[in-house]
A and B are shown apart, each in its own frame.
Chain A
Amino acid sequence: TQLLEQSPQFLSIQEGENLTVYCNSSSVFSSLQWYRQEPGEGPVLLVTVVTGGEVKKLKRLTFQFGDARKDSSLHITAAQPGDTGLYLCAGADSNYQLIWGAGTKLIIKP
């Protein structure tokens, strides 16, 4: 059974701080995606990373795919209350299935 472990499960920090969320697996993925979900809404795709070692930036968010394509990280610089939400990672396996992490619940306090 393929697993995608996210850490931490929960993070509460003050506005302006930096943070990193991790997504780890023992399996290799052809691509990995990050989604953000706000309360009462469905997940919304933030980014897809495909190449080992790839780094993508989305304003204050930096996404990195591990060299071996087994792990990924999301770093947020100078977090803002608008960043609050559930962050989900999902890896695409060789059978065209998405393997989902359980999510990191992020709260940014003003």
Chain B
Amino acid sequence: NAGVTQTPKFQVLKTGQSMTLQCAQDMNHEYMSWYRQDPGMGLRLIHYSVGAGITDQGEVPNGYNVSRSTTEDFPLRLLSAAPSQTSVYFCASSYSGGREFYEQYFGPGTRLTVT
């Protein structure tokens, strides 16, 4: 199993540009989520999905869109990049039932810089 994969690994955008961060998992996990990690602030939840066709907002959803058309894929779209979105982005997945729901498997991250 590849686990959770993310592309690209690094990205530089200019203010106002849009892009999509890709995330895929091959563990048949129903729950998938996107986090951003900034120094001294821990992980903050952007959006999450409990299954194909179902998405919901997390703590910091503004400026980001998601969709979940399949169990495997959960792309994150930046609509109009801003310098405040410079961060490291992590995709995570987990089983949807019981205590295992909280045991997150993370991808390697995408380091995004917006100039």
Q: Give A contacts to B, CB under 8 Å.
A: 9, 31, 33, 35, 40-45, 48, 50, 88, 90, 92, 96-98, 100-103
Given contacts A102-B42, A103-B42, contact A42 B102 (CB under 8 A): no
Asked if residues B103 and A102 are in contact (CB atoms below 8 Å), the reply is no
Asked if residues A31 and B106 are in contact (CB atoms below 8 Å), the reply is no
Q: Give B contacts to A, CB under 8 Å.
A: 4, 40-45, 90, 92, 99, 101-109
In the complex, A44→B92 CA distance in Å? 11
Instruction: Sample 12 A-B pairs with CB under 8 A, ordered by A number.
Output: A31-B102, A33-B103, A40-B108, A42-B109, A45-B103, A45-B104, A48-B103, A88-B42, A96-B101, A98-B104, A101-B42, A102-B40
In the complex, A32→B43 CA distance in Å? 15
A-side contacts of B108, CB under 8 Å: 40-42
Asked if residues A44 and B43 are in contact (CB atoms below 8 Å), the reply is no
**Minimal beta-carbon separation of B65 from chain A (angstroms):** 21
In the complex, A96→B42 CA distance in Å? 18
Across the two chains, which residue of chain A brings its CB closest to B40?
Answer: A102
Contact of B99 among A9, A35, A50, A98 (CB under 8 A): A50
- Among B90, B104, B108, max chain A CB count under 10 A is at B104
B-side contacts of A88, CB under 8 Å: 42-43
Asked if residues B104 and A9 are in contact (CB atoms below 8 Å), the reply is no
Given contacts A42-B4, A42-B109, contact A102 B102 (CB under 8 A): no
Given contacts A40-B108, A42-B4, contact A92 B43 (CB under 8 A): no
**Minimal beta-carbon separation of A61 from chain B (angstroms):** 17
Given contacts A9-B40, A88-B43, contact A42 B103 (CB under 8 A): no
A-side contacts of B4, CB under 8 Å: 42
A-side contacts of B102, CB under 8 Å: 31, 33, 48, 90, 92, 98
